[in-house]
Structure 1
Amino acid sequence: MKLTSIRTAAAASAVLMVAGLVTACNRESSTDGGSESKPKIGVDLPRSDSDFWNSYAQYITKEKDKGDLNLLPTSNSQNDVTKLVANVQVFQNSGAKAVVMAPQDTGAIASTLDQLAAKDIPVVSVDTRPDKGDVYMVVRADNRAYGTKACEFLGEQLGGKGKVAELQGALDSINGRDRSEAFASCMKERFPNIKVFELPTDWKGDVASAKLQSLLAQHPDLNGVYMQAGGVFLQPTLALLKQKGLLKPAGTKGHITIISNDGIPQEFDAIRKGHIDATVSQPADLYAKYALYYAKAAAEGKTFKPGPTDHDSTIVKIPNGLEDQLPAPLVTKENVDDAALWGNTVK
């Protein structure tokens, strides 16, 4: 071999050695201090037209800012299952090892869940339980308990008689069905003298307002309202009642008793003002915390079993996976200022 060839080969070998050292240093740095070495997690937010889900998004950001997660850029499917499917495809193409979603149409997401399962990408579903398709964990509160608590509160406040408007969510959603079925069952069994007007809304505030306005025209003696989602129903409902001269403080003649679901700060303010009487607080903070906790665990190959947890909840077996049922307390004027409620801490 010529001397020049030997020198060229030696130089090339030296370059490769240096490059290898640089690569090794970069890998070591990533392992020691960065999140890039951790499994990638995709998070899709379900919508931005709800104060509850906007609060949940804030908590997702807070969890991400702690620095121990490797989250891909967050997407928002805007209550559109087609967008959710497309967003999930982006996560797959970006190397996600787990996906967090909150499908609003729990029946239409099954084929996407099947595709993710085929690629060994576990799914954590927040607040909603898919009707079919494997899930690693559902992070959710007991939605049937929401309906039952609302029924019991209204029934007792109204003395077991009157007329109640139920602003239902989407009935193609497990949450809408659970709350509606439990509310109806409880009313039938415990308060048969209360007339319930079921108003499906597809979780849309404008639809709820329009249907409530029509109902009030037919039944001006309505004396109760159950809002299945304060995040989308609170503002339009209160605006309508104010316009009609029906927004009267609790404890005064003509007050319409109102209970809601969500636990957002706006509901708490409305309770303090006497505009509404109660809400069931969905734990937006815990939804974000444990959704990401389970997603990280799933990506790392960890498993869980049914039974009590160390965070005051219970994991139960469901047909297509597991569900961690988080606590959701009833909030009234007696405990609305409790600092432990997430609605008193989020901006």
Structure 2
Amino acid sequence: MRRRTGVTAAAALLLVAALSGCDRGGDTDLGLALSTMNNPFFVGIKEGAQAEADARGLHLNITDAQNDPTQQINQLETFTSQNVRAAIINPVDSDAAVPAVGVANRADVPVISLDRGVNGGRVGSTIASDNVAGGRLAARTLAESLGGKGKVAFLEGQPGTSAARERGKGFEEGIGKYPGIQVVARQPADFDRTKGMDVMANMLQAHHDIAGVFAANDEMALGAAKALGGRSGKDVEVVAFDGTPDGVTAVRDGTLTATVAQQPRLLGRQAVDWALKAARGEKLPRTVKVPVVLVTQKNAAEFGTHG
């Protein structure tokens, strides 16, 4: 009799656990593998995801790969060992993230890709800013600020990431509509401020008459502005991408001409929302595009807490 009572009690506990809250599924409900947290944009994503998880009563395990793809494989293995309901990955590299996604696939853990796509494996949906449209918007803004003519430089993002590729695609499409604009230099600076400064300094040695710069994120643009010194935003128009607090401040101060603002906190919140949909087995779109907004000196004050 005691044995039957024990079994009954255990079954009751399992039933209570199964019914206790529609969004909870264990000690860790969701995993979020960020490429880096050494960038204000990804910190914004983290804050948005955490806020959404808190609002839903979820335990979210957030990890930092420090731009190392191997770390993301280990982190996805940790998520699966924690029996997460779904995993969110912000890939260090779109190709190198495939094995990490494979870890989750083999464990039947649904995967959502965030900000950057993954070039393989089963991914339920990719939540990202409309990078191609943003690249076109940046090109038009830069060209118009130069009156449709001049030599420009392009600081590309981290090779292998879909964000860098898509922003570049949009920029090339947009700038191609202005025959008076010449792209005389282009080079990756890996979305990094220090590298942006170094790359810009090298470009200026070969092309001292550059009149405009497009940097595929704010960090590289701020580095480029440092290399340009007092010319940035005055003799040289600089258009960036992200809308981080530092980037918006630089636009407001006139150091940068404009930045195409993403909404990192909204990206983080939506990633959690779509991850839960994936966990429930809902049919998901291949991509979810989050709009971008142009920030100029005229409207920069409105973006103090943007995202």
Q: Same fold (TM over 0.5)?
A: yes
* Among 54, 57, 63, the residue aligned to 1:68: 57
Which residue in 2 is equivalent to 1:277?
Answer: 257
**Higher Cα Rg, which structure:** 1
Give the C-alpha shift of residue 264 in structure 1: 1.0
For the 8 Å contact 1:209–1:237, the answer to whether it is kept is: yes
Provide the TM-score with structure 1 as the length reference.
0.80
Q: Residue 176 of structure 2 aligns to a residue in which SS?
A: helix
For the 8 Å contact 1:59–1:288, the answer to whether it is kept is: yes
Query: What letter is aligned with 1:85?
Result: I
Alpha-carbon distance between aligned partners in 2 of 1:123 and 1:265, rounded to the nearest angstrom: 30
* Among 251, 267, 278, the residue aligned to 1:298: 278
Give the C-alpha shift of residue 26 in structure 1: 8.4
Taking structure 1 as reference, are residues 303 and 277 closer, same or farther at Cα in structure 2, changes over 3 Å only? same
Give the C-alpha shift of residue 170 in structure 1: 1.9
For the 8 Å contact 2:128–2:288, the answer to whether it is kept is: yes
Query: What letter is aligned with 2:155?
Result: L
Alpha-carbon distance between aligned partners in 2 of 1:91 and 1:193, rounded to the nearest angstrom: 48
* Among 237, 250, 265, the residue aligned to 1:257: 237
Query: Aligned ranges for residues 1-347 of structure 1 at < 5 Å?
Result: 12=2, 17=5, 21=9, 24=12, 28=16, 31-32=19-20, 36-37=24-25, 40-71=29-60, 73-230=61-218, 232-242=219-229, 245-247=230-232, 250=233, 254-305=234-285, 322-338=286-302, 341=303, 344-345=305-306
Provide the TM-score with structure 2 as the length reference.
0.89
For the 8 Å contact 1:47–1:76, the answer to whether it is kept is: yes
Which residue in 2 is equivalent to 1:309?
Answer: none
Question: Percent identity of the aligned residues?
Answer: 25
Query: What letter is aligned with 1:51?
Result: P
For the 8 Å contact 1:227–1:233, the answer to whether it is kept is: yes
Taking structure 1 as reference, are residues 132 and 192 closer, same or farther at Cα in structure 2, changes over 3 Å only? farther
For the 8 Å contact 1:124–1:139, the answer to whether it is kept is: yes
Query: What letter is aligned with 1:238?
Result: A
Give the C-alpha shift of residue 345 in structure 1: 5.0
- Unaligned 5+ segments in structure 1 are 1-9, 306-321
For the 8 Å contact 2:138–2:214, the answer to whether it is kept is: yes
Give the C-alpha shift of residue 154 in structure 1: 0.7
For the 8 Å contact 1:100–1:125, the answer to whether it is kept is: yes
User: For the aligned residues, what is the CA RMSD?
Assistant: 2.5
Q: Describe the superposition over 1:205-252 as per-residue Cα deviations: whole angstroms up to 9, x where unpaired.
A: 22221111112223222221111011x32442333333xx434xx5xx
For the 8 Å contact 2:31–2:84, the answer to whether it is kept is: yes
Give the C-alpha shift of residue 28 in structure 1: 3.3
Q: Describe the superposition over 1:172-229 as per-residue Cα deviations: whole angstroms up to 9, x where unpaired.
A: 1121112123222332332343334112122232222111111222322222111101
Aligned residues: 306
Alpha-carbon distance between aligned partners in 2 of 1:155 and 1:102, rounded to the nearest angstrom: 32
Query: What letter is aligned with 1:50?
Result: N
Query: What letter is aligned with 2:288?
Result: D
Alpha-carbon distance between aligned partners in 2 of 1:283 and 1:211, rounded to the nearest angstrom: 27
For the 8 Å contact 2:77–2:104, the answer to whether it is kept is: no
For the 8 Å contact 2:35–2:65, the answer to whether it is kept is: yes
Q: State which drifts further: 80-89 or 178-187.
A: 178-187
Alpha-carbon distance between aligned partners in 1 of 2:223 and 2:284, rounded to the nearest angstrom: 42
For the 8 Å contact 1:259–1:276, the answer to whether it is kept is: yes
Give the C-alpha shift of residue 169 in structure 1: 0.4
